Structure 1
Amino acid sequence: MPEYTYLAVDQAGKEIKGEIVAYSAEEVQKRLGEIGLIPIDVKRKTKKGFSLFGRKKVKRRDLLTFTIQFFTVADSGVPIVRGLEEIGAQMKNPYFKKVIFDIKQRIELGESLSQALSHYPKIFPNYYLGAVKTGEESGKLTEILRDLIVFLEKQEALSAELKQAMTYPLFVTFALGGVAIFYIFIILPKVLELVTHLNQKISGPTRFLMAFTNAAKHYWYLPLIGIVLLVLTVLIARKHEKGRYYLDLIKLKMPVLGNIVLKAILARFSANLALLLRSGVEIVGAFQMLSQTIGNSVIKEGILLAMENLKGGASITEAIAGLPFTPFVLSMIAIGEETGKLEEELSKIANYYEKDVERATKQAITLLEPMMLIIFGIGAAGVFIAVLTPIYNAVSKLQ
């Protein structure tokens, strides 16, 4: 949504300057008039160059901070408008700060909290809006905010575990790759030059190593081109629905990591659904919201299909039978439906898989380190054999 600067005067003729987020200059003028200000000049803010750090992005951590602060405001009985003003003043994210002040202005103009938040769907997901709306209507906003805090904290921890599981193998690979590059371009050429001066018959492993280092020296740019093309392919694929689907499918099919990704999805699905049902959202609407926040196109497609099954009268267990969920999840949900304690069973599933993701991540990292070292060790052993064999033969002849 665009940002505007404005100059206005109040009823006493005092000039007031400010910034506001709105769809158009006409909306800015209308909203200023509704709060008793006479607009004199309204200008759309222009971007001053590209800044990677100035992008309009609000992270989950920012949303969690906002929710904690807003819960404190609501729980202490401070009026919402005043509370939002204080929260906005403390917010470090400059874009989120402007959004909070805009939400405050919208509430002053008569919108409800959920209506004001709904203008920013990229910041406040559907499950968040649904929970807040239910809290407003039921008079239990404080309790809903407390549930949202717990939910967001768990999701933040889950994302951190998942990122660690995904990035650690890359870190180890790059570290060992850096060592390998140092040996290939700095050490090996000098050692192999010494080997060629020994006038010994060059064995197959040594010839292969010499050919490899020679190719690496002359065609070093080919792997870089391959990496760049791979990154570009992934970035382009992420912009298209079908591309995102196949990328998400690859994530689920990856050895070891795919299992961790699926467990994280199960935890997110269960926690989200429990929160929505506890907030009073009906089941079909809850599945609609889940499809937009689950974060995996393959699972999203399955959830949308399950939603259609629910509309046709299927139970939740029957509806989600086509999803790649474990028998444990299906049986727990079936028990919840039969006993009328679905929210409780979903919370148990979420807690179990949140802990399981942490365990699986630590286990994967523990297994990965020796595996990478073994692979690197085998490569190093091959290099030593190729280099030391001709040197050993030369020394043997001298004796």
Structure 2
Amino acid sequence: MLLKAGVRLKDALKLLANSQKKKFDQNLIYSLIERIEAGKDFSEAAKEKKEFSDYEYHSLKIGETTGTLDQVTEALGDYYIRRNEQRRNLISALTYPIIVLSVAALSVIFMLRFIVPMFQEIFKQNNVELPLITKLIVRVSNVIGDYGILVLLIITALLFSRKLYIKKQGYRRFRDQIILKIPYIGNFVRKTYLAQFTQAISLLVSAKVPVLRSLSLVKKMIPFYPIEQALGRVEERILKGKSLSASMAEESIFDQKMISLIQVSEETNQTDFIFKRLNELYNQQVTQQAKIFSTALEPIIIMIVAVIVGVILIAMYLPMFGLSEVIG
């Protein structure tokens, strides 16, 4: 907004810094100003700060090169508004189900760890023959008692060491391929990243960046391995003379609707317009699926927990009939 109003970049950043309430944000912007005053470009100054990703760096670099920094920053603002909205929708959809699942899991673990052993001791003292289902539950209880702390320590260690392997190519490939195979969730995650992909392409094309160069940049911007690899293969096909739509048609990660509309954009020279519409379409689908996911997940979790608790109770009550005979 400030750039479009004719304010110089350095003055615009100073105004932004003075309007920040958090000291950290003020210092971050002032550090950018210092680097710009030292003779560096805005994009290079941002690249040196870990708070900015490759996405911002490449976008700002394009804006500086093409003289469209005001348009690029505006498009980046729109991109992050939509991305934050997607994140809020996802968090909103998952927060309550995760709380319910966590409480239910702790309740089941408590029953297996403390309640079941009490019944087991009673049955053992009275020499009651245990049914198969009770033996299975008792075995699970013993495993939790023997290895529960070890499993908890391993999970904690994996979470704390996440930074060491999260960017490893093998881990990312394995993780993202597994996510894609999960029913419903895989499709939801895929569309979320396709929304980011179409937004990024729209941003770059509107800045007059060639499509091939745009694909190369977007490949670095989208942190989803299947799309990264698919875009790499699309680049190779375009270099061999194929069109963008024909190249993308060979990749299953992209929808047929997307490919058809991209083909139309190539014939009508409306690439920017088509990708904006695709982005709106995917954003709508992600929002709708997040709401459906939130609505459907809660009763499913409750049903699963009810079944687990029911099985445990049945397993504990069945030997009671044998116990009553022994006592009688």
**Shorter-chain TM band:** 0.7 to 0.9
Q: Percent identity?
A: 22
The change in CA–CA distance for 1:81 and 1:149 in structure 2 (over 3 A counts) is: same
Answer whether contact 2:59 2:72 (CA < 8 A) is retained.
Answer: no
Supply the distance in 1 between the matched residues of 2:265 and 2:89 (Cα, whole angstroms).
28
Please state how far the C-alpha of 1:270 moved relative to its aligned partner.
Answer: 0.7
Which protein is richer in strand relative to its size?
1
The residue that corresponds to 1:297 in the other structure is 225
Q: Which runs of 5+ in 2 are unaligned?
A: none
The change in CA–CA distance for 1:233 and 1:117 in structure 2 (over 3 A counts) is: closer
Supply the distance in 2 between the matched residues of 1:397 and 1:103 (Cα, whole angstroms).
81
Q: Which residue of 135, 155, 158 maps to 2:83?
A: 155
* Match runs of 1:97-112 below 5 Å: 97-112=26-41
Supply the distance in 1 between the matched residues of 2:199 and 2:174 (Cα, whole angstroms).
25
Please give the secondary structure, in 2, of the residue aligned with 1:220.
Answer: helix
Please state how far the C-alpha of 1:315 moved relative to its aligned partner.
Answer: 1.3
The change in CA–CA distance for 1:214 and 1:108 in structure 2 (over 3 A counts) is: closer
Please give the per-residue CA displacement for 1:149-201, whole angstroms capped at 9, x wherever unaligned.
11111122223344566777655443221011221223223334344455544
Answer whether contact 1:134 1:279 (CA < 8 A) is retained.
Answer: yes
Supply the distance in 1 between the matched residues of 2:85 and 2:214 (Cα, whole angstroms).
23
Please state how far the C-alpha of 1:261 moved relative to its aligned partner.
Answer: 1.0
The residue that corresponds to 2:248 in the other structure is 320
Please state how far the C-alpha of 1:251 moved relative to its aligned partner.
Answer: 2.2
Q: Which residue of 190, 195, 199 maps to 1:267?
A: 195
If asked which structure has higher relative contact order (CA below 8 Å, sep 6+), I would say 2
Supply the distance in 2 between the matched residues of 1:265 and 1:376 (Cα, whole angstroms).
32
Bigger radius of gyration among the two: 1
Q: Which residue of 277, 290, 294 maps to 1:348?
A: 277
Please give the secondary structure, in 2, of the residue aligned with 1:74.
Answer: coil
Supply the distance in 1 between the matched residues of 2:43 and 2:95 (Cα, whole angstroms).
37
The change in CA–CA distance for 1:197 and 1:116 in structure 2 (over 3 A counts) is: closer
Please state how far the C-alpha of 1:90 moved relative to its aligned partner.
Answer: 4.1
Supply the distance in 2 between the matched residues of 1:389 and 1:164 (Cα, whole angstroms).
41
The residue that corresponds to 1:187 in the other structure is 115
The residue that corresponds to 1:84 in the other structure is 13
Between 1:222-231 and 1:333-342, the stretch displaced more is: 222-231
Supply the distance in 1 between the matched residues of 2:117 and 2:167 (Cα, whole angstroms).
44
RMSD of aligned Cα (Å): 3.2
The residue that corresponds to 2:319 in the other structure is 390
* Match runs of 1:248-263 below 5 Å: 248-263=176-191
Which protein is richer in helix relative to its size?
2
Matched residue count? 327
Please state how far the C-alpha of 1:212 moved relative to its aligned partner.
Answer: 3.3
Please state how far the C-alpha of 1:74 moved relative to its aligned partner.
Answer: 2.4
Please give the secondary structure, in 2, of the residue aligned with 1:320.
Answer: helix
The change in CA–CA distance for 1:210 and 1:133 in structure 2 (over 3 A counts) is: closer
Please state how far the C-alpha of 1:357 moved relative to its aligned partner.
Answer: 1.3
Between 1:212-221 and 1:195-204, the stretch displaced more is: 195-204
Supply the distance in 1 between the matched residues of 2:312 and 2:55 (Cα, whole angstroms).
57
User: Given residue 108 of structure 1, which amino acid in structure 2 is its aligned partner?
Assistant: E
Q: Which runs of 5+ in 1 are unaligned?
A: 1-70
Supply the distance in 1 between the matched residues of 2:238 and 2:51 (Cα, whole angstroms).
27
The change in CA–CA distance for 1:164 and 1:298 in structure 2 (over 3 A counts) is: farther
